[in-house]
């Protein structure tokens, strides 16, 4: 039994150098994109129906497959709007196409900044102050998703106009 084990071990050790350069053993690394919020970093107060929300993100992707060419209408960035309390509110998605951010050359690592300006939000009826929470997620061309990013709370108020 010990002799069989030794032969098997020698056979396996002999195969390792031979298979080291074999493409069949290549397992691709999965590099999901990363996204962090640069602005706003704290709670935001906006006038209902008047003030736009400005968002700034930092995007990182090790294999550089972020964004789409100009003719491609595929959506890569989603923002989920959630409002709690009463009256009930159906959560809504806002979808965006990210431009192709893949750098030219051998180094494909992406380190980019993305700015968005969202149309003004409006108060739910019969409220003088309302709040909402946004969640963001990014997808690369390989279908890998970033971790969900929770943005600061946005408060809406009626300016009385």
Task: List the domain boundaries for the chain.
Answer: 31-157
Q: pTM for this one?
A: 0.76
Q: What three-state secondary structure class fits 70? A: coil
Tell me the C-alpha to C-alpha distance, in Å, between residue 132 and each of 7, 113, 124. 67, 24, 11
Cα angle 36, 38, 44 (rounded to 5 degrees) comes to 115
Instruction: Evaluate whether 132 touches 82 at the Cβ level (below 8 Å).
Output: yes
Instruction: Evaluate whether 151 touches 136 at the Cβ level (below 8 Å).
Output: yes
H or E, element range at 159:
none
Residue pLDDT tens, the chain, 161 long: 555 444 544 444 454 455 455 544 555 567 899 999 999 999 999 999 999 999 999 999 998 899 988 888 899 999 999 998 777 787 899 999 999 998 887 788 999 999 999 999 999 888 889 999 999 999 999 999 999 999 999 999 987 75
Q: What dotted CATH number matches 31-157? A: 2.60.40.10
Instruction: Evaluate whether 60 touches 111 at the Cβ level (below 8 Å).
Output: yes
Instruction: Evaluate whether 103 touches 110 at the Cβ level (below 8 Å).
Output: yes
pLDDT of residue 51: 97
């Amino acid at each position: 039994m010990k002799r069989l084990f030794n032969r098997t071990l020698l056979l396996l050790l002999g195969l390792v150098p031979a298979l080291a350069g074999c493409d069949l053993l290549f397992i691709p690394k999965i590099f999901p994109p990363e996204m962090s919020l640069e602005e706003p970093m704290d709670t935001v107060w906006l006038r209902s129906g008047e003030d736009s929300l400005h968002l700034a993100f930092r995007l990182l992707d090790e294999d550089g497959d972020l964004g789409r060419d100009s003719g491609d209408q595929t959506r890569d960035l989603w923002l989920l709007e959630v409002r709690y309390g009463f009256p009930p509110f159906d959560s809504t998605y806002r979808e965006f196409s990210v431009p192709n951010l893949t750098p030219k050359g051998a180094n494909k690592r992406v380190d980019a900044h993305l700015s968005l300006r969202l149309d003004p939000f409006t108060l739910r009826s019969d409220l003088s102050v309302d709040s909402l929470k946004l969640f963001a997620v990014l997808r690369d061309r390989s279908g890998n998703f970033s971790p969900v990013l929770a943005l600061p709370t946005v408060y809406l108020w009626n300016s009385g106009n």
